[in-house]
Structure 1
Amino acid sequence: MSNKVTMQQIADHLGVSKFVVSKALSGKGGVSEATQERVIQAAAQLGYFSQKNAYVKSMKLEQLPKVPAANKQSVLVLMPNIRFQTKESLYWGRILDGISSRLEEEGCGMVIVSEQSVDHFLHFLNPNGILGLIGVGEISTPLLLEVHRIGLPMVLVDHEDMLIPTDTVFTNNYESMYRLTKHLIGKGHKRLCFVGNINYSRSFKDRFLGFRSALEEQADYGLAFGHREENLLPVEGFEHEDFQEPVRQWAVKRLKSKTMPTALLCANDMIAIGAVHAMQELGLSVPGEVSVTGFDNIDDSYRMTPALTTVHVPKETLGKRAVERLLSRIASKQEPMEKLLVAGELLYRESTAGAQS
């Protein structure tokens, strides 16, 4: 049996004092953000968070600030208001709908918190009323560390933190994008490009990996990882208008060099909508000259012209599965962590066609 990882070992590993490690892991401040991040990284690498009773001085729920709770059995839903992660979102809002409906079936309440500050977040915890936490979308490591330190049961939806062990729920992003890419290759496309910032989220990265794997299986492509810039256009933003101009400028350069792809596989529907508008602005026919695909199947994807080929993400189901996983975790706290993958459905619409010869 391996020995328990201690704060002193983490301190020795980093060349700092045990006091610094204790402060960094306590979440109470006293050290810089950079130092805290180094300590968290080292603790994760050494396996500190994976062992039982990781915190010597962990705060008990009874010690947390008490606030009134309308329902004695509620689940805290943490969705920091970043990256347009809001209830009104065509994507995140549907996940919340799934969480809400499943909790209602169980007779539980839901408290939505958009707080990003660790100190302020603690005031939302009521030891007499909170069953556990469901995190939706991107959440900072310090916040997740605080929840882990407290010992509150937690499930993350469409996000994972490699430093903090948690149950997670995702769509099968890799497999869905792999199949979509294979479909376009089968329709004769040999010049394909993934559009999206792969560092934006774990989902985006998995979608790119599925895309790349499908390409690398084609012997005539010669697409080594070192040449991926030919097949990757990193763009950033939130609304489709944010993506239209960067894609248009990129396409102008590719058209001049006669290296314009015949298919653009976008990391989500918002990017794809912007890409379609960019192609149309340049006078390129979609899908006649360039096929474009999205991911998520938001409402706008089938309302646009041409209707967007995409992957349907069962957003409400993601929320429901998160609730079910949380309730299972509460009932059996010693079970191994699980990563649940919900299958996406490929929807072939008018924005894709066979490649021109």
Structure 2
Amino acid sequence: MNLRILILPFFVFFSIAVLGQDETENLQLTKKDSIVTSSWIAGLGFNAVDDAGTEFTNFFNVSDNWNIVPYPSRISIGKYFKNGLGIEFIGAYNQYQEGKFVDGFIISEAIDYYSGDLRFSYDLNKILGETGFFDPYVGLGAGYTEANNQGRGTYNATLGFRTWFNDRVGLDFNSTGKWTMNPDNSTNHLQHAAGVVYRFAIEKGLSKKGEEKLARIKEIEEKQKKMQDSINIVRQAEEEQRLLAERLKREEEERLAAAASEKQAIEDARRTSIDEAINALGYVYFDLNSSYLPAKGKGLLDELALILLKNPSVILEISSHTDSRGTSKYNQWLSERRVMRTANYLIAMGIDENRLKIKGLGENELTNECVDRVPCPEEKHRENRRSQFKVLEY
């Protein structure tokens, strides 16, 4: 056999491994390479109002000028878009406190404060660069404020930032200057806010670093493809190498077929084992006219939960039944109560509710001859008061 034919494919394969393998492993895209690009954001928190009339010269005079109530007093909801723009609706309640400076004077009684604002904001990360956890922003908007027994429209400007613990939950801090539209009857003031924010209806995209990774991965894949094309040309040009490849392919197909057969056998054995384990548990039996789980039934469900936890891909059907005594309507209601208690117990044990399909069947599927008007001993009736289990998906 021509030695060159053997060495050349090996050399090309070796080049692929050396040039591409290490780098592609290091360039795998991860969650850290994705960022939230648009979402809805809801917020709940506190607000502090400085309406002393000297807010821009005594900004940090908290004791004399700031008014805060000791409970959550601000809600917000907004939509934020991929281009960095956002629109947000904000409502707040506060109370000017007796003894505080308001409009340059010390007030002698508490006065309620209400505000509703519409704000357009811009994510400064579009300029500074995305971090994924820190989002500074600026905002402009308008609103209406009822303060110091005076209603006034306001022009608003905001500076703030959000810091995120994960993709959904974070904190929001901001300060807003509010300039009155009616300076003859009211004054400008500041409103500061801090609270928890929650993102939903999230859309995600790659960060700048992630885009660079993806471009590099595609570049490497293209190089590997070209090298693979060279291998194919060599194989096509040499008949002996082609025959060798065909033989190796047949052997590989046989190996894969054997592996698939073995895998199927293992899967069949696994399914049989799951069925046998669940069937061996039997049924959960209930007392007459009761949907509460007896101690023995809870023990059975504990064992069933262990089986489901060990086999996280299993989807289980739970059906609950009654005996024939009582009306059909009552028995249907009672069976639905039983199946809910059975399922809720498994959910409390850590089983995802999406893995449980429940049915309440009333007296429709009796296990024995104890139908209406047929006298039966209590033990026979008890056989029908049950929750039973069936695997739907393995």
Q: Shared topology, TM-score over 0.5?
A: no
TM-score, L = length of structure 2: 0.17
Q: Which has the larger radius of gyration?
A: 2
Greater relative contact order structure (CA < 8 Å, 6+ sep): 1
- Higher strand proportion: 2
TM-score, L = length of structure 1: 0.19
